Structure 1
């Protein structure tokens, strides 16, 4: 009997010890994974803005010194006070959770859901790029349906809020070699210098099927489609147009054009 109790005690102690090790490892790994995910998003954000980091530079430090996060009320087209919403840091705003939240998110009428996302946050973070205290570029989070997945990324505009500075996607599950070519640096480079809006201020950027004819006047608004990936091409085209339009950042961009000279300093 005593021998059986000893065996039971040893087994119990080993089980408890293993459980403690596994639990501790899971907690530590979860924290590390969250940090790595945040770091990856920051690196993509900086890449979209064309900010090249030195080999030994810390992206987090570059973000702190060059980037200012604002929370935008999409309906009003104005910056919102994060504290009014109980948000400590606009840069940490969880747009997926917000879109599902009955207070922070809302359903999109089907006729207006160009990006195929069904719901959207009522608020979105945007990022001002600073050269010193001078505003130089604007980075906009974007997302929408592709063929197999929802693509999440960033679109950067130059200070004129018309010219595309860059685009990148930090998360998607599109087909490697086809829709997955949204990750190809050569394709992303095609976006730089394109005009997102026409002379009347209407969204004009589009991802076309096939290649752009540089001799045509509309070429300044067009980007080559992804070869063999018609549905992903269409998805990227629609999500970009959605977020630049009246359902997305359109009202805020109109407001910002009139307030470029009165933006808060980076350390405010």
Structure 2
């Protein structure tokens, strides 16, 4: 075949597309198991971070909680994994509850959604961990919030994002911002669920009973997204918490 002909060029281009496509598909399939394992371990790591487990004992010494160590120690601290329906009824347990994809759930109606909930015990204290997902300035934001056994006081939070601006909305991932939520209350003084608001120009100082924290300068919309995400997600767990007879606080 004439290498200078249009037919030769066309056939060569087709062959290259097929070869490159096959190589990319093979690479994607080969790496998918590892990618899925990384996602699973990161999820476990973030859940444990919210209850203060950021290091574990290994060979007689405390070491940072890496992703593999998070998976190895997950069930040491997480005593229950369940998923609820909108009525607060348990519809999934164990690994099936862990596998609930919140991003996909949000595409369903509230009545069709499943709401994962994790219970943890650390140094004799009980915690409830709730996954969060919402929208920031540019794209999705997500995270986890853990509540102490009064189902009112926040133990810790972890936030992440897909496309927020570095140095502005992207700061929600930083420890100094997430630490502002520690010991904040999600119910107001009347027992109404209000979550925690990220407030621009906050002047409450260290007040942990006003349901508010100071915002990130220049990231108002992302802060509003965090505020809405917390209150919107938490409200779906009220039916379950109301049905628990051992809760220490009244919820409305």
Interval containing the TM-score (normalised by the shorter chain): 0.7 to 0.9
8 A contact 1:126–1:138 mirrored in 2: yes
Q: Structure 1 stretches of 5 or more lacking a match?
A: 2-10, 109-119, 262-268
Q: Deviations over 1:6-59 (max 9, x none)?
A: xxxxx9xxx999877654432121111111112112111111221122326610
Q: Give 1:166 shift.
A: 1.0
TM-score (norm: length of structure 2): 0.77
Partner Cα distance (1:196, 1:41) in 2? 23
Partner Cα distance (1:18, 1:233) in 2? 43
SS state of the match for residue 127, structure 1?
A: strand
Which residue does the alignment assign to 2:6? none
Match of 1:222 among 190, 212, 223: 212
8 A contact 2:185–2:208 mirrored in 1: no
Match of 1:97 among 97, 101, 104: 104
- CA 1:77–1:22: 2 relative to 1, 3 Å: closer
Higher relative CO (Cα under 8 Å, sequence separation at least 6) belongs to: 1
Partner Cα distance (1:90, 1:166) in 2? 21
How many residue pairs align between the two structures?
224
Matching of residue 137 in structure 1 with residue 144 in structure 2: no
Partner Cα distance (1:243, 1:159) in 2? 18
SS state of the match for residue 84, structure 2?
A: strand
Which residue does the alignment assign to 2:237? 249
8 A contact 1:42–1:59 mirrored in 2: yes
Q: Deviations over 1:105-140 (max 9, x none)?
A: 31x6xxxxxxxxxxx8521111100248x6610100
Match of 2:202 among 202, 205, 211: 211
Which residue does the alignment assign to 1:117? none
Moved runs in structure 1, 4+ residues, more than 3 A?
A: 15-24, 217-220
Instruction: Output aligned runs, 1:138-157, within 5 Å.
Output: 138-157=128-147
Q: Structure 2 stretches of 5 or more lacking a match?
A: 2-11, 57-62
- CA 1:231–1:81: 2 relative to 1, 3 Å: closer
Matching of residue 25 in structure 1 with residue 27 in structure 2: yes
Partner Cα distance (2:55, 2:90) in 1? 29
Q: Give 1:218 shift.
A: 7.5
Which residue does the alignment assign to 1:43? 45
Match of 1:69 among 66, 72, 81: 81
SS state of the match for residue 31, structure 1?
A: helix
Partner Cα distance (1:19, 1:121) in 2? 38
Partner Cα distance (2:102, 2:177) in 1? 27
Root-mean-square deviation (CA, aligned residues, Å) is 3.0
SS state of the match for residue 89, structure 1?
A: helix
Q: Give 1:242 shift.
A: 1.3
TM-score (norm: length of structure 1): 0.73
- CA 1:128–1:135: 2 relative to 1, 3 Å: farther
Matching of residue 238 in structure 1 with residue 245 in structure 2: no
